């Protein structure tokens, strides 16, 4: 075997070993590396009580209710399989709206609700001009 072929084999083996090791590490991280809990995660794993966590999903259509004080919002986060009611007091980002993504920072309550201290808007990967928005969104959500 020529030395350069030997080096090629060695390099290939090293790359495979590194890829395998990081694959193992990543699969171990799978649950810890998520940025937020989805409502159905909580249903499956139980409530992560007593610590600050994030809850993410879509704001359910027609669920946003503004309290009389003007700064308290109540809404429902859904991921299609489960829902969580959320209460938030403060200023929501501009992109916070119904049927759109949201990540809430705060704590779960023993009754299954969530009290948020901060809201982040999460948008999806679809970009389109305003005049197309309604139509495309409808057909896409029908397909899903």
Partner 1 sequence: MASLHALANPARFLRLARPLTPAFLLSGVLLTLFGCWAGLTQTPPDYLQGDSVRILYIHVPTAWLGMGGWSGIAIASLSYLVWRHPLARIAARAIALPGAVFAFLCLATGSIWGRPTWGTWWEWDGRLTSMLLLFFVYLAYMALARADADRGGDGRLPAIYGIAGTVLLPIIRYSVVWWNTLHQGESIGLTSSTVDSSMLWPLWFTLSGFTFLFAGIVLMRMRAMLARERREARMRRMAA
Residues of this chain that bind partner 1 (CB under 8 A): 4, 7-8, 11, 14-15, 18-19, 22, 26, 30, 33-38, 56, 92-96, 100, 103, 119-133, 136
CB of 68 to partner 1, least distance (A): 24
- Closer to partner 1 by CB, 111 or 131: give it: 131
Q: Which is nearer to partner 1, 2 or 110 (CB)?
A: 2
Contacts of 20 (CB under 8 A, 6+ apart): none
- Which of 47, 137, 29, 38 lies closest to 82, judged by CA? 38
Beta bridge partners of 59: 77
Report in angstroms how near the CB of residue 44 gets to partner 1 at its nearest: 14
Burial of 84 (0-12, 13-18, 19+ CB in 10 A): buried
- For residue 70, give the DSSP letter: S
Residue with smaller CB distance to partner 1, 113 or 122: 122
**Closest CB to partner 1 among 27 and 68?**
27
Q: Is the Cβ–Cβ distance between 122 and 56 less than 8 Å?
A: yes
Q: Least CB distance from residue 8 to partner 1, whole Å?
A: 5
From the CB of 50, what's the least distance to partner 1, in Å? 21
Return the ∠ at Cα 21 (arms to 16 and 25), rounded to 5°: 145
* Shortest Å, Cβ 82 to partner 1: 14
Which two structure tokens, joined as six digits, stand for 93? Answer: 């980002």
Is the CB of 31 or the CB of 111 nearer to partner 1?
A: 31
């Amino acid at each position: 075997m020529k030395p350069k072929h030997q080096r090629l084999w060695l390099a290939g083996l090293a790359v495979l070993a590194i890829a395998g090791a990081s694959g193992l590490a990543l699969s171990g991280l799978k649950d810890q590396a998520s940025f937020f809990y989805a409502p159905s995660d909580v249903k499956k794993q139980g409530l992560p009580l007593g610590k600050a966590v994030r809850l993410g999903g879509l704001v359910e259509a027609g669920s946003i209710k503004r309290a009389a004080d003007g700064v308290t919002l109540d809404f429902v986060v859904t991921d299609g399989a489960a829902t969580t009611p959320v209460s938030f007091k403060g200023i929501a980002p501009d992109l916070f709206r119904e049927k759109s993504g949201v990540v809430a920072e705060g704590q779960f309550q023993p009754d299954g609700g969530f009290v948020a201290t901060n809201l982040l808007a999460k948008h999806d990967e679809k970009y389109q001009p305003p005049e197309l928005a309604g139509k495309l969104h409808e057909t896409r959500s029908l397909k899903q």
